[in-house]
Chain A
């Protein structure tokens, strides 16, 4: 009996092993390709899917990782190398000049965001951008406090450079990154007057996670980082020897004359760091609910590779969990993924990205300005009644249906559009035009208001979609050409589209769209797909 049991177990084991090996050596197929490309990028094209479908998991991961970049392909705004105006000079400015300087910094922040969105759209390595976004959220730093666009740009360079490189090096570079030094008050951390802000966050949020250190560790770590500061004249990192506390500290039970570098090494030595980072990456790329056994395995790989982020990502992207059916379509697209992904998915081109930067901000993700040092809560918290209607309205405006010919449409078409937006659109656009005018009027009469940001965003969005003679803009979109990719395939074109655009079968049954006017048919098909709730998932 016992022998039988053992044999049985062995048989199951062998079968499982074979299945696993098969999973590793088999082609990932079109659905697997779609999954890995969307989880590591913004939107997969049918051509990319076709190419990746023939690869094994390892080949797909290697291909993605080989394409990783350390620099942007998009040239940055011209001012990024301009000298900063030191804070003490700002104080001497007249109120008008100071306001001008403020406006300049705000404008530059927006240009920086446009630059980044452009890079997300144009890069040959979307994974690099997804990782850069991940590290931006991990080492959250806000321009609202840092102010200088130049410093935010420099930080972005650092995040991008190490995005798939070495985490230890990334951590060390970030600890002396001027934007971070300003954001977490390291510049105020002096011998005798420690400021614990950076000390706490470097442990709680950047490496170990909550509860893995004592309040006393925080005090001692703050002492070790005293003197880490910024040169006010050029915005470069600067170690102020005389502000540094060179005394003996006790951190994690070890005693010595530690400085900041020693502490960072100690943080990297502790196993919790690899576990913490791996768990966070799991939630970003695999599922909202980490499988702790798998996390331990991956974290070991991460640590053994001396924090090679690429090695960890390779292990994660080839794991059974990553491809598991129950983990597909379980993550909510972030606003940036949603906005950039929509432009990419449907080959929508525009020269003017500002409205899309604002659209993502309006939906809850203003890059370069995370809500606080914890970053964006993300996940399901991206979706509330305001942001969900906002997402739907965004799609509704991008894929406007009211250029539709007024010739009688087939009955099923009318039925389909009712309840989405076909009949709604006209009235809504009229109201919007009226609102837009109201906003202009009120903006003219009652000077700048924080609330006006929303109306400004609205106006910008409208301008971008319709094109604006002064600023350019306007969307170039050819949905007929886009949909032609699917017509050549055997079977139903709408279903083929759904398999590319949606991460799982649609919740609203897909109606085949048949219209006399072929040019409206593609639009109707696309509107149907993006209206499905599963379009919000990845």
Chain B
């Protein structure tokens, strides 16, 4: 709940109003010079993977040459001979071996040093900041994707604007006015959807809302199916199942702009090594299978996959063979049109803040802006209320 008032910010009211109105304005805009409106292309699919609990970026993409790394982590540092080298000085955790071919084919971008000013170290609050793309001292009701779809609506013919796989909270799709569907298992969803029954329209706003959500569910259920048989072998386990569900939904070919997956358990305060290795393996196996499935569906070149989390973990290990809440973090972006390589700012282990946490080099909203501006052609400024420079990591 800490707020930062070191910058003079406009009062939150006007900003909130701006954010509410900006969507409407952008949607209503008919200025010929504005190219965004015509270009928004939701045939490009976005897949988000949330690493819940905050993945330890420093033991994911490892500055294995740095003396400070070993000094801060006498027990947790991954030995140099086990690191999978990406370039001199930087390498992957050994459990991420399935990602190496992606790296070699230059389809994997590694973005380091992602964070935001005045970081909040509460899981709850920080993921809210990420999900709503707010400043750390403001509270927004709508997720960043909800706002994006308000400013540039997804075609009504799509089965849904977005699908949340394997979770009940809508994350970046929270808020009113977006057709976001939660599915944990496709067959189950289709069965449950039969409980929803669309009825004729209504004057009562609350009832109208409920009926429109029912309609969204029925529309999604009517267009989605689990018929496709994949050659891809999906990994066992919770995340593998989510990847399979996502692949099936995408195979329905019914129009979806975004899919959100998530894996929990990254809050590794205690006995990190084994737990973390297991989680990274699930993610890497899942991403490998996702690529294979997308290639089967001929969607690899029209899909962008991004990982995210509420924050990173503290560089210095704690007394319980684990790590505590940190700030800046490293994330992956993959896809057939991704320009592979290292991006952002390598961990500044010599420049830790008063809590022993890393400074950030890339605002997380720049990562989102990459998806909005460069992938979909949605003006990110209309969504965030200010300009965050997108990363140049997508091939035309």
Q: Which residues of A contact B (CB under 8 A)?
A: 95, 99, 142, 144-145, 183-185, 195-197, 200, 210-211, 215, 288, 329-332, 362, 371-374, 377, 379-381, 383-390, 392-393, 396, 419-421, 424, 427-428, 431, 435, 442, 446-452, 454, 504, 507-508, 531, 533-534, 536-537
Q: In the complex, A59 Cα to B250 Cα: how many Å?
A: 60
Q: With the chains together, A35 CA to B196 CA distance in Å?
A: 26
Indicate whether A185 sits within 8 Å of B1 (C-beta atoms), given known contacts A372-B125, A442-B237: yes
Assess the A386–B169 pair: CB atoms within 8 A: yes
Is the Cβ of B193 less than 8 Å from the Cβ of A389? Answer: yes
How near does chain A come to B346, taking the closest CB pair, in angstroms? 29
Which of B11, B195, B209, B262 has a CB less than 8 Å from the CB of A451? B262
Would you list which residues of chain B between 146 and 169 have a CB under 8 Å from chain A?
164, 166-169
CB distance from A395 to the nearest CB of B (A): 9
Which of A330, A332, A389 has the most chain B CB atoms inside 10 A of its CB?
A389
Q: Mark B76-117, 1 if CB is under 8 A from A, else 0.
A: 000000000000000000000000000000000000000000
Judge whether B326 is part of the interface by a CB distance below 8 angstroms: no
What are 8 A-B residue pairs whose CB atoms fall within 8 Å in the complex? Answer: A183-B1, A185-B2, A362-B168, A372-B124, A388-B217, A389-B196, A431-B191, A537-B204
Closest CB-CB distance, B255 to chain A, in whole Å? 16
Partner of A427, one of B8, B170, B191, B320: B191
Question: B319 contacts the other chain (Cβ, under 8 Å)?
Answer: yes
Q: B265–A386 contact, CB under 8 A?
A: no
With both chains docked as a complex, state the minimum distance between the C-beta of B249 and any C-beta of chain A, in angstroms: 14
How many A-B contacts if CB must be within 8 Å? 177
> Which chain A residues border B5 with CB–CB below 8 Å?
196, 215
Residues of A within 8 A of B164 (CB): 386
Leading 9 A-B pairs by shortest Cβ distance = A386-B182, A451-B264, A450-B264, A449-B265, A449-B264, A392-B195, A95-B320, A210-B13, A380-B209
Task: With both chains docked as a complex, state the minimum distance between the C-beta of B14 and any C-beta of chain A, in angstroms.
Answer: 8
Q: Which chain A residues border B319 with CB–CB below 8 Å?
A: 95
Distance to closest chain A CB from B47 (angstroms): 18
Q: Is the CB of A442 within 8 A of B238?
A: yes
State whether A447 touches B275 (Cβ < 8 A): yes
B window 223-281: CB within 8 A of A: 237-238, 262-265, 267, 270, 275, 278
**CB proximity of B302 to chain A, nearest CB, Å:** 25
Chain B, 161-192, contact with A by CB distance < 8 Å: what is the 0/1 string? 00010111110001110011110010111011
CB distance from A431 to the nearest CB of B (A): 6
Contact digits for B1-31, partner A, Cβ 8 Å, 1 yes 0 no: 1110100100111000000000000000000
A371 with B128: CB separation less than 8 A:
yes
Which residues of the other chain, A, contact B41 by a CB distance below 8 angstroms? none
Given the interface contacts A372-B139, A390-B168, A424-B194, does A383 sit within 8 Å of B213 by beta carbon? yes
What residues on B are CB-neighbors of A431 within 8 Å? Answer: 185, 187-188, 191
CB distance from A229 to the nearest CB of B (A): 16
Cβ-closest chain B residue relative to A425 = B191
- Report if A387-B141 is in contact (Cβ < 8 Å); known contacts: A197-B2, A381-B175, A534-B207: no
Which chain B residues border A442 with CB–CB below 8 Å? 237-238
Q: Contact at B197–A451, with CB atoms within 8 Å?
A: no
With an 8 A cutoff between CB atoms, is B216 at the interface?
yes
Instruction: Tell whether, in the assembled complex, residue B2 and residue A446 are in contact, meaning their CB atoms are under 8 Å apart.
Output: no
- Select A533's contact among B166, B185, B199, B320, beta carbons within 8 Å: B199
Contacts of B270 in A (CB 8 A): 95, 99
Q: In the bound complex, do residue B170 and residue A384 qualify as a contact, i.e. CB atoms below 8 Å apart?
A: yes
Are A372 and B128 within 8 A (Cβ)? yes
Asked if A508 meets B199 with Cβ closer than 8 Å, knowing A431-B187, A450-B265, the reply is yes
B195–A389 touching, CB < 8 Å: yes
Residues of B within 8 A of A95 (CB): 270, 319-320
| B205 engages A330 (CB within 8 Å) | yes
Q: Which residue of A lies closest to B236 (CB)?
A: A442
Is B214 interfacial (CB-CB < 8 Å)? yes
4 more contacts with CB within 8 A, not counting A372-B125, A383-B210, A388-B214, are A195-B2, A215-B11, A384-B174, A389-B217
Q: Is B118 an interface residue (CB 8 A)?
A: no
Is B396 an interface residue when CB atoms closer than 8 A count as contact? no
- In the complex, the chain A residue whose C-beta lies closest to that of B16 is A210
A385–B180 contact, CB under 8 A?
yes
